[in-house]
Structure 1
Amino acid sequence: MKEEVKIAIFGLSLNVLENIKQKITSIYADSVELKWANIADPQLDILLVNDMFFGSPTIQSLVNGNRVPYLRLVNDSNKLGKIENDVLYLPLTLSDTIQDWFKQSYKNVPTLQASASTKTEQHKPVNVDYEKVLDEFLSGRNGNVQVFDSKGNIAIVNTNTEQVWMNAERRIAGTDQTINFTYATMQTMQSVTSQQGKDLRTWLWNLLWYSPVLDQDISSDVYFKLNVWPQPEMVQDRQNIFKIAACFERGASIKQVQKKLSLDKDIIERFVSVSLLCKAIVEIQEQDAKLKIADQRPEGSLRGFFGSLRSKLGL
């Protein structure tokens, strides 16, 4: 079996990207299987990144967390073909220095036959603070971002207009703790803006609904009020989701909703967890929970009826 090296290139135009790919391919012998990977690939071997995006949290987690060998790409015709420290100057020419760098980086890659397990262990997916990441999706200051996880690209998001363009090739409905983002290039945005994007909050709610691994532990006695109704895509859960939403719109606790609807506690907890991550629901005080007051009215009316009856009967 051929040895495998995975290389990701990020933040370049298509023309420059293809030119670099062709030249790098010529460096490696036929005994090596060269694969062009996404920056989210947990088994990434080499990273080439436009210097403009090098400071993004996503790239920094790869460089510092996974310790992937990398080069920052900078356009400078006066230094073309040179590597200085961690900077590769473009346009790319195959100097001895460049070929040596790629070959030395390749030598650190274990063969699939001998140590595939070692490679996996060295490049475990990095779990991020996904709550902070999700907050950034709802922050207009980030502009255009590319969302991904350890399984690949998920979507492109315009945080200003709150529009989403999903990756049509992705076959996974949910995500996990590796969800992250980096800033999208102008070319990436141009490839999708001619299409109609989806609503960001609707998309995010559905993405998280299919991501039970992100569910949070929530007390059954805490009260919440729903401010934004979900638009669930899943037909089998839609009726129950709307029933739960109607309860929390008035203000309620998980315990109350479970008692009122006789639903499994897990689905109610997931509803609250997903809604919290989407900023669609907020915690409130018990006295502001209208569902509780509504539930008590029949009991209070019944007590009043029997009290009036006792008075009339002289009891």
Structure 2
Amino acid sequence: MTEQYLNIAITGLSIHHSEELKTQLRNLIPQQYEIKWSTAADPTIDCLFIHENFYDTDGIQKIIQSRNFPWLKITKNTANENLIKENTLSLPIVNPQSFSDWILQHLLNANITEHHEQFFEVNPKKTPYKLEYFNKMLDKERHSKLHLFDTLGTIAIIDVQNNIAWLNTEREQAFTDSGFDYDIASTSSFMKVSRKQAYILSDWLWQFFWDSPLFLKEMAPEDGHFKIHMWPKPPLDADRKIIFQLSSCFIQGGKVSKIATQLNIPLETVQRFIAANIATNNISKINIWDKHFNPPEAPAATEDTGLIKSFFGKLRKKLGI
């Protein structure tokens, strides 16, 4: 598609209502655009109008969720004529102002934005995966919902204020890569997630990043002193024990390399833990003189190991793990 053409599909309408809608579109879309009428199956369509009775069919849902284009359901509810409510346009269109505004905002502006994105694609901007990036993403004062995505497509939509996440249930990969990013969730974004089940954002997001070691490797610190704000709540899997061990240390504050040595855990694992907490905005850097985790010291190494085991044994009993 170029700036001279708009490929528009109309599906499920009678010939009479289809011609009525085509006439309105020809009148409202500037003459510089040539309209090409397509079918819903056309992979190049720029916009879809679908009769409300066919909207929930598997074929239409698959098309809408797999591609990014504006769409409207068409209804004959005359009580709402001239208005667009919940992505639904009512026929007949007597006063086309509302429809004209929708075309300008969702179809023509989207068309222009797509060309700008293609122009700048040759010089993509590297996303700075730093604590400030995630602090902004998870700002509790944020009133808008966010669309999380990567090179594999939509991951989820999150509501930070209400600590809710809605997931893309058709996504096979439960991890992310270096293409991870977020933006304000749009109406089309919501079509790519399931709202039948809401997840606790803080718990789901931590586990999601923990399961993305290649992504976390980009931001894992070589060393340093850190303190986590809250205990992560991992599910009952093989990593749960080690996550709780690391949490019990870093909830008090600790140095990455020292904790790795004290727990006899690979440094990469501790770095991955720190990176997961950075990605969920659940951590702060601390100074070397701040309070740190310090197990009781003993003269003999075997006794020291026994004391550490005793410490974690009591902790596991207290937490019931």
The TM tier, using the shorter chain, reads 0.5 to 0.7
Count of residue pairs the alignment pairs up: 226
Contiguous gaps of at least 5 residues in structure 2:
1-5, 14-20, 26-33, 47-62, 73-94, 301-321
After superposition, the Cα gap between the structure-2 partners of 1:196 and 1:136, relative to the gap in structure 1 and judged at 3 Å, is: farther
How far apart are residue 138 of structure 1 and its match? Answer: 1.2
Match of 1:261 in 2: 263
Paired with 1:139 and 1:239, the residues of 2 have a C-alpha distance of 30
1:163 counterpart residue number: 164
Matched, 1:77 2:96: yes
- CA deviation digits over 1:43-98, x for unaligned, max 9? x8xx7699xxxxxxxxxxxxxxxxxxxxxxxxx9369789xxxx954898xxxxx9
Matched, 1:281 2:283: yes
- 1:308 alignment counterpart: none
Counterpart CA distance in 1 for 2:7 and 2:291 is 51
Coordinate RMSD, CA, aligned: 5.0
Q: Secondary structure at the match of 2:257?
A: helix
Question: Tell me, which stretches of 5 or more residues in structure 1 are unaligned?
Answer: 1-6, 10-14, 51-75, 93-97, 103-107, 109-118, 301-315
Matched residue, 1:27 = 37
Alpha-carbon spacing, 1:259–1:130, altered in 2? closer, same or farther (3 Å): closer
Q: Decide which structure has greater helix share.
A: 1
| 2:242 corresponding residue in structure 1 | 240
Distance 1:217 1:89 in 2: 44
CA distance in 2, matches of 1:38, 1:181: 20
Bigger RCO of structures 1 and 2 (CA < 8 A, at least 6 apart): 1
Distance 1:196 1:39 in 2: 18
Alpha-carbon spacing, 1:208–1:260, altered in 2? closer, same or farther (3 Å): same
Which residue is equivalent to 1:250? 252
**Structure 1 residues 78, 213: closer, same or farther in 2, change over 3 A?**
closer
Alpha-carbon distance change, 209 to 124 in structure 1, aligned in 2, over 3 angstroms: farther
Q: Quote the residue 2:75 is aligned against.
A: none
Q: Secondary structure at the match of 2:259?
A: helix
Q: Which residue of 2 aligns with 1:129?
A: 128
Residue matched to 1:290: 292
Q: Which amino acid aligns with 2:177?
A: D
- One-letter amino acid of the structure 2 residue matched with residue 218 of structure 1: P
Match of 2:316 in 1: none
Partner residue, 2:221: 218
Deviation string, structure 1 residues 113-132 (Cα, Å, up to 9, x no partner)? xxxxxx9x967976433445
1:299-314 paired onto structure 2 within 5 Å:
299=299
Change (3 A) 1:252 1:273: same
Shift of 1:173: 1.2
